Amino acid sequence: MKRLLLLLLVLSLLFSCQKGDGKNDDRHLVLRYADNQPEYFPTTKAARYFAELVYARTDGKIDIRVYGNGELGGEVQCLQQIQFGGLDFARFSLGTLSAYYPKLNVLMLPYLYTDSDHMWRVLDGKIGDDFLSQVEEIGVFGLCWFDAGARSFYTRMPISSLEDMKGLLIRVQENDILSSMVSSLGADTVQIPYGDVYSALQMGKVDGAENNMPSYFYTGHFEPARYFFVDEHFRLPEMVVMSRAARNEIMELGPEYLEIVRECARESGLYERKLWKEEEQKAFAQLESLGVVFTFPSNEEQERIRRAMEVVYDDFTGENALLIDKIRSQ
């Protein structure tokens, strides 16, 4: 009798183990990724590339569906959704993310980087890595950085100097630090979600906005605002993040899956960077042929703008001042 009971116990243990393994093998995650840029924009293309890599390297166990065009909401809504687990991945401009995690402000100060290579030395190094892990403090996991070039002003009327900015109403992202940066030039600012900027420009509710060239081109903002003043006042890199809920689900599949996701995200970051360079040049050529008027400030004018915006640095003291020095010396 004892033997029989022992045999039954062993058999039932074996059976339950097999059942457990079987269940694990069948596990399959479908996760959602949001981007507010259109289908053929570098960031959205890179998101699809990320999804394809993950699918292939996990043998289809992690299936990431990419929703571009702001289909799942504007950046602010997506950030809130991702914090509460309603969304799994998203790409955010630091202009949005830093409103929720102000330590990031330091990375978007006016004229902080001498050029794009300088910014990449910072983001590819320890400073960039530290920020990717620190955003965990607001409940998201930083995966990689995307390029978003330098931002400049574009307006419904020609501008060519600092004086021309005075009294203009300029749209900025939903972030007070960006309002104060732009007001340091004497302009008035209004915070409007990205998806509503075209109509605000078209209806004359604002005199202008500021963004990188590919965004200006893809959104059609050049139609109502055809004067582009290439002052390149700041660079707002972008971060791809993952929700805590998605991270936990992936961990349940196994820690090796989390590593695959991280590695594919890093590769998609490099891919986006390459696409970005190409797209910046293409956008410039296309905009020129469409009659956009580009004004390149002289070195002196650029220097006056830089000095006017320097007041923003006064708020960055203590630890931040040290970090600014570190960034500048990279």
Instruction: List beta partners, residue 92.
Output: 239
Instruction: Tell me phi and psi for residue 91, to 5 degrees.
Output: -110, 125
The interface with ligand GCU within residues 126-185 (CB under 6 A) comprises: 148, 173
Residue with Cβ nearer ligand GCU (99 or 264)? 99
Does 194 contact ligand GCU by CB under 6 A?
Answer: yes
Which of 98, 152, 189, 211 touches ligand GCU (CB under 6 A)?
211
Q: Which is nearer to ligand GCU, 141 or 276 (CB)?
A: 276
**31 DSSP assignment:** E
Q: For the segment 24-53, give every residue that binds ligand GCU (CB under 6 A).
A: 36-37
- 227-238 b/e (C-beta count within 10 Å ≥ 16 → b): bbbebbbbbbbb
3-state SS record for 252-310? HHCHHHHHHHHHHHHHHHHHHHHHHHHHHHHHHHHHHHCCCEEECCCHHHHHHHHHHHH
Residue 66 or 148: the one with the smaller Cβ distance to ligand GCU is: 148
Nearest to 238 by CA among 113, 144, 116: 144
How far is 141 from 137, CA to CA, in rounded Å? Answer: 9
> Whole-number minimum distance, CB 297 to ligand GCU, in Å?
21
Instruction: Measure the CA–CA gap between 316 and 68, rounded to whole angstroms.
Output: 35
Q: Which is nearer to ligand GCU, 58 or 105 (CB)?
A: 105
Q: How far is the CB of 177 from ligand GCU (least distance, A)?
A: 14
Cα(254)–Cα(180) distance, rounded to whole angstroms?
Answer: 45
Binding residue for ligand GCU, selected from 215, 235, 239, 243, defined by CB under 6 A: 215
| Min CB(317)–ligand GCU separation in Å | 28
Q: Which is nearer to ligand GCU, 62 or 97 (CB)?
A: 97
Per CB under 6 A, residues contacting ligand GCU are 36-37, 75, 93, 148, 173, 194, 211, 215, 238
